[in-house]
A and B are shown apart, each in its own frame.
Chain A
């Protein structure tokens, strides 16, 4: 068949078969035993020509309610933020998106330098010494932090606060099973980790304690108090953090964290139904050689010119095989690039301003809801999310909100039976006062 992606003509084929010394392509497959040869047609959907394909895919896409045409108050780990136009223009440059991992530094300086800049930005935001080139996403980065902690401390117990994202906790469970680690979850009180319960669980077998900052309920965990408890037992202090929030909040690196992970989705990456996003992984200098994934370092070439290379590769699977620090191979380079461009476009001032707008708008929404008679449940400090208690089901309210062009918040009862009929509301800088006021009116009216 002729196809626009397949350049080999009949004449080419004839000449090539001649050089190979066979009469047909079929002969090249003769080493596949007859009994396992596939006969007949693959039951794959039929080919569509480009115009048909565009129509069909557009139709599928249009069946989904999107956050461009609707005002989203849904967060819970994935947020609707402004994405500067420049981001997509940069990541659509095919020199970036059609390249592989920069194993040949002489012709990959662009990618390597972009990653080096990304690593620097993550260090700046988190207050940590070293950041890697990226991970699949925040939750798998957190799970890998558990494996690193267990390896480093030679201890088997991992304590996770229940105010960590429920899907992240589920991923931690799966990873831990593989390594025969024992995961213990600690309850929260008033929306943050219960320090007394944490103390009860701490012992000499504890490899690490994991908390989220801001946590799943939007609240700021008491990192200074947590740090004291964790380090008293010589455990590792692991903090999962929204990097945008760190544009305004004291970074975990300044509050004694050993490992800081999170997801860069708030910087320039669309929600795209949950992936691909972009995990980051940052550590203290002491842990530099234990980091999973790829690291880019600065060096010089034979003529003394500055250049960048993948470095400390002796940690990685393609060198160390079964002794590697992780099995991770690919990273999220293109999304790390998107985040770098977004962070550069926002810049020092813009990142701070955007983080501040998130707090201010969330604060406005929360205050207005309270005024409208809606019950809010936690009284601590928060970033861009907070919890409200409804009289009825979240699902029903969200159905009603959608008719007003609003995507409502997250139903906390899905993961926390004690919070049935509680909605986690996210308010980013993208929500206008008008949208917030409509949301308040509708939610307030339903109470």
Chain B
């Protein structure tokens, strides 16, 4: 990381007359636009965009990159986000001209290689999830959730079932689950977790009724625990006429060990930027394919990619489809990366990925369990949650410990989520980290727990080594400054 210093905004580096573009001179006859454009369309106030040289531009963005932490910079155990290594070959392949520079509206016979890749990826995702068909159209996980719920709604309505207004989500669910339910026109209803950290079957029976459209579930859940009553849950939902939705954010835990399709799930979304090495891109783009069982296939977004004898084509003749959820065919560029990754691993490799992810998480959990409070003691899957309750009594909050981790070059775990565990820290190491890295991180976290007892100020005042100290978020929200204004 840099020493403490402000990095100028690119607008502040700007000087009139500097350029870093190289557009060829116009090779067609001139046209006087001031004359040609009607007055109302002839822009008078020019947009104030930067004016910098190419080297200034590169130095600026290089400086910004140095003020940012990625997986390549260091360990990034951000729970529920699956911050695994992003393979370099994926980046190369996605940039091949035949993938990067093809237009979505070209004639189908000119993009057969792209369609073949998409078809193969769909088939591989069918195999991993145990579903019957997959669409690649949704742009991201939350978009996939909404797509899946819209299909469930269309299914119920096709059965003349217009009163299924409720979608049940566990209290430990990702925030996107209830938000997606709302956007899809449902009411989100919460089901409680029991003392083991999994869905309370009695509470589930209480909230399920003839109004239930679906239950959305992450399995393993956000506590990293496998919902071992899944068969009973599926029975409860299905016998009430509801559908079971699988939030695939945590698929990295169970590849080759269990498939949502075999557990009774009717709809699944996957986050290709998580389990299948996306990458995350600083917040996106992602990709959120959705898989469904046969009875929901008619409702898939259109067009649907089909394989014919000697060619692939898009089928638009899908009368029951929920329609389009996105223009064109999804985030193709991310799908190329995911497919490259799947081919790098193969079936054995994917199974190994989940085994090692689970091994790593359990190892860390056991190393940390004495210094912190472990709310759920059973084996975890790919991630686990510890609570900083003990440290809180000493005046050191989980937020402080997270900030202290920054001093050691780590990205902290997810904190204060899931919302049903006090002062929690959610840790997901992923399979691509070595034992040495896990040990070093655990040592540091144990050291911080000790500091909380012996020298709490050093934790409370952290971070000490970053380019910037804790920021005033209250003022940022009260008096928002959301753009640069020239002084």
A328 interface residue per 8 A CB criterion? yes
A106 near B113 with CB under 8 A, answer: no
Q: In the bound complex, how far is the Cα of B379 from the Cα of A17, in angstroms?
A: 12
B23 near A353 with CB under 8 A, answer: yes
Chain A residue at minimum C-beta to C-beta distance from B5: A305
Tell me which residues across on chain A come within 8 A of B230, comparing CB atoms: 33, 36
Tell me the minimal C-beta distance from A385 to chain B in angstroms. 13
Q: In the bound complex, how far is the Cα of B465 from the Cα of A345, in angstroms?
A: 33
Tell me which residues across on chain B come within 8 A of A47, comparing CB atoms: 343-349
Chain A residues 66 to 88 lying within 8 A of chain B, measured CB to CB, are 66-69, 72, 74, 76-78, 80, 82, 84, 86, 88
Tell me the minimal C-beta distance from A222 to chain B in angstroms. 8
Number of interface residues of A (CB under 8 A): 209
A44 near B102 with CB under 8 A, answer: no
Chain B residues 231 to 263 lying within 8 A of chain A, measured CB to CB, are 231, 254-259, 262-263
A42 near B347 with CB under 8 A, answer: yes
Cβ 8 A contact of B182, one of A106, A129, A324, A407: A324
A136 interface residue per 8 A CB criterion? yes
A109 near B468 with CB under 8 A, answer: yes
Cβ 8 A contact of A177, one of B123, B322, B342, B470: B322
Tell me the minimal C-beta distance from B195 to chain A in angstroms. 16
Q: Name the segment of B329-337, B387-395, B444-452 touching the other chain.
A: B329-337
Tell me which residues across on chain B come within 8 A of A275, comparing CB atoms: 104, 139, 285, 326-334
Tell me which residues across on chain A come within 8 A of B375, comparing CB atoms: none
Q: In the bound complex, how far is the Cα of B32 from the Cα of A61, in angstroms?
A: 42
- Taken residue by residue from 471 to 483, chain B's Cβ proximity to chain A (1 for < 8 Å, 0 otherwise) reads as 1110111001111
- Taken residue by residue from 15 to 31, chain B's Cβ proximity to chain A (1 for < 8 Å, 0 otherwise) reads as 00011111100111111
B355 interface residue per 8 A CB criterion? yes
Q: Contacts A171-B325, A299-B471 hold; do A345 and B20 have CB atoms under 8 A apart? A: yes
Q: In the bound complex, how far is the Cα of B344 from the Cα of A1, in angstroms?
A: 13
Cβ 8 A contact of B175, one of A120, A220, A249, A321: A321
Q: Contacts A74-B105, A97-B279, A111-B68 hold; do A250 and B44 have CB atoms under 8 A apart? A: yes
Q: In the bound complex, how far is the Cα of B54 from the Cα of A347, in angstroms?
A: 11
Q: Contacts A8-B434, A170-B324 hold; do A100 and B83 have CB atoms under 8 A apart? A: yes
Tell me which residues across on chain B come within 8 A of A222, comparing CB atoms: 40
B340 near A53 with CB under 8 A, answer: yes
B70 near A334 with CB under 8 A, answer: no
Q: In the bound complex, how far is the Cα of B280 from the Cα of A337, in angstroms?
A: 13
Cβ 8 A contact of B98, one of A62, A171, A299, A432: A62
Chain B residue at minimum C-beta to C-beta distance from A59: B113
Chain A residue at minimum C-beta to C-beta distance from B259: A38
B332 near A50 with CB under 8 A, answer: no
Chain A residues 256 to 297 lying within 8 A of chain B, measured CB to CB, are 270-276, 278, 288, 294-297
Chain B residues 112 to 133 lying within 8 A of chain A, measured CB to CB, are 112-114, 116-117, 120, 123-124, 127-128, 130
B45 interface residue per 8 A CB criterion? yes
Tell me which residues across on chain A come within 8 A of B113, comparing CB atoms: 59-64
Q: In the bound complex, how far is the Cα of B153 from the Cα of A91, in angstroms?
A: 39
Q: In the bound complex, how far is the Cα of B360 from the Cα of A19, in angstroms?
A: 11
Tell me which residues across on chain B come within 8 A of A301, comparing CB atoms: 468-472
B143 near A136 with CB under 8 A, answer: yes
A230 interface residue per 8 A CB criterion? no
B468 near A246 with CB under 8 A, answer: no
B66 interface residue per 8 A CB criterion? yes
- Interface SS of B by simple majority: loop
Tell me the minimal C-beta distance from B372 to chain A in angstroms. 16
Q: Contacts A74-B103, A333-B281, A346-B49 hold; do A20 and B175 have CB atoms under 8 A apart? A: no
A330 near B10 with CB under 8 A, answer: no
Cβ 8 A contact of B11, one of A68, A117, A352, A357: A117
Tell me the minimal C-beta distance from B458 to chain A in angstroms. 15
Chain B residue at minimum C-beta to C-beta distance from A9: B435
Q: In the bound complex, how far is the Cα of B253 from the Cα of A440, in angstroms?
A: 57
Cβ 8 A contact of B97, one of A27, A68, A170, A347: A68
Chain B residues 389 to 411 lying within 8 A of chain A, measured CB to CB, are 402-403, 406, 411
B41 near A171 with CB under 8 A, answer: no
B71 interface residue per 8 A CB criterion? yes
Tell me which residues across on chain B come within 8 A of A78, comparing CB atoms: 103-105, 328
Q: In the bound complex, how far is the Cα of B378 from the Cα of A22, in angstroms?
A: 12
Chain A residues 288 to 329 lying within 8 A of chain B, measured CB to CB, are 288, 294-303, 305-309, 311-314, 316-324, 326-329
- Classify chain B's interface size: 35 or more
- Taken residue by residue from 451 to 467, chain B's Cβ proximity to chain A (1 for < 8 Å, 0 otherwise) reads as 00000000000010011
- Taken residue by residue from 184 to 207, chain B's Cβ proximity to chain A (1 for < 8 Å, 0 otherwise) reads as 110110000000000000000000
Tell me which residues across on chain A come within 8 A of B18, comparing CB atoms: 347
Cβ 8 A contact of B20, one of A37, A347, A353, A364: A347
Tell me the minimal C-beta distance from A246 to chain B in angstroms. 7
Tell me which residues across on chain A come within 8 A of B217, comparing CB atoms: none
B159 interface residue per 8 A CB criterion? no
B286 interface residue per 8 A CB criterion? yes
- Taken residue by residue from 422 to 443, chain B's Cβ proximity to chain A (1 for < 8 Å, 0 otherwise) reads as 0000000001111100000000
Tell me which residues across on chain B come within 8 A of A7, comparing CB atoms: 432-435
A276 near B285 with CB under 8 A, answer: yes
Chain A residues 236 to 254 lying within 8 A of chain B, measured CB to CB, are 246-251, 254
Chain A residues 1 to 42 lying within 8 A of chain B, measured CB to CB, are 1, 3, 5-9, 12-13, 15-17, 19-22, 25, 27-33, 35-38, 41-42
Chain B residue at minimum C-beta to C-beta distance from A174: B323
Tell me which residues across on chain B come within 8 A of A395, comparing CB atoms: 107
Best-surrounded residue of A124, A134, A254 (most CB of chain B within 10 A): A124
Q: Contacts A65-B111, A347-B50, A359-B33 hold; do A44 and B128 have CB atoms under 8 A apart? A: yes
Chain B residues 139 to 189 lying within 8 A of chain A, measured CB to CB, are 139-143, 145-146, 150, 153, 174-176, 178-185, 187-188
B307 interface residue per 8 A CB criterion? no
A12 near B435 with CB under 8 A, answer: yes
Q: In the bound complex, how far is the Cα of B11 from the Cα of A114, in angstroms?
A: 11
B484 near A116 with CB under 8 A, answer: yes
B212 interface residue per 8 A CB criterion? no
B281 near A117 with CB under 8 A, answer: no
Cβ 8 A contact of A8, one of B33, B89, B332, B435: B435
B106 near A65 with CB under 8 A, answer: yes
Q: Contacts A8-B434, A124-B49, A294-B283 hold; do A110 and B67 have CB atoms under 8 A apart? A: yes
Tell me which residues across on chain A come within 8 A of B214, comparing CB atoms: none
Tell me the minimal C-beta distance from A263 to chain B in angstroms. 9
Cβ 8 A contact of A271, one of B103, B178, B256: B103
Chain A residues 99 to 149 lying within 8 A of chain B, measured CB to CB, are 99-102, 104-111, 113-114, 116-117, 119-121, 123-125, 127, 129-131, 133-134, 136-140, 147
B21 near A95 with CB under 8 A, answer: no
B91 interface residue per 8 A CB criterion? yes
A184 interface residue per 8 A CB criterion? no
Chain B residue at minimum C-beta to C-beta distance from A179: B185
16 contacts between A and B (CB under 8 A): A7-B435, A31-B228, A38-B257, A48-B346, A63-B114, A80-B103, A106-B463, A136-B284, A139-B326, A171-B323, A249-B37, A274-B332, A288-B480, A305-B469, A318-B174, A322-B181
Further 16 A-B residue pairs, CB within 8 A, beyond A106-B469, A117-B11, A250-B41:
A8-B359, A57-B340, A67-B102, A105-B471, A106-B470, A139-B326, A272-B333, A307-B468, A309-B471, A317-B179, A318-B175, A327-B182, A333-B284, A346-B21, A348-B46, A360-B33
Q: Which 10 A-B pairs have the closest CB atoms?
A: A47-B346, A274-B328, A61-B98, A63-B113, A274-B104, A334-B281, A110-B68, A276-B285, A98-B70, A350-B21
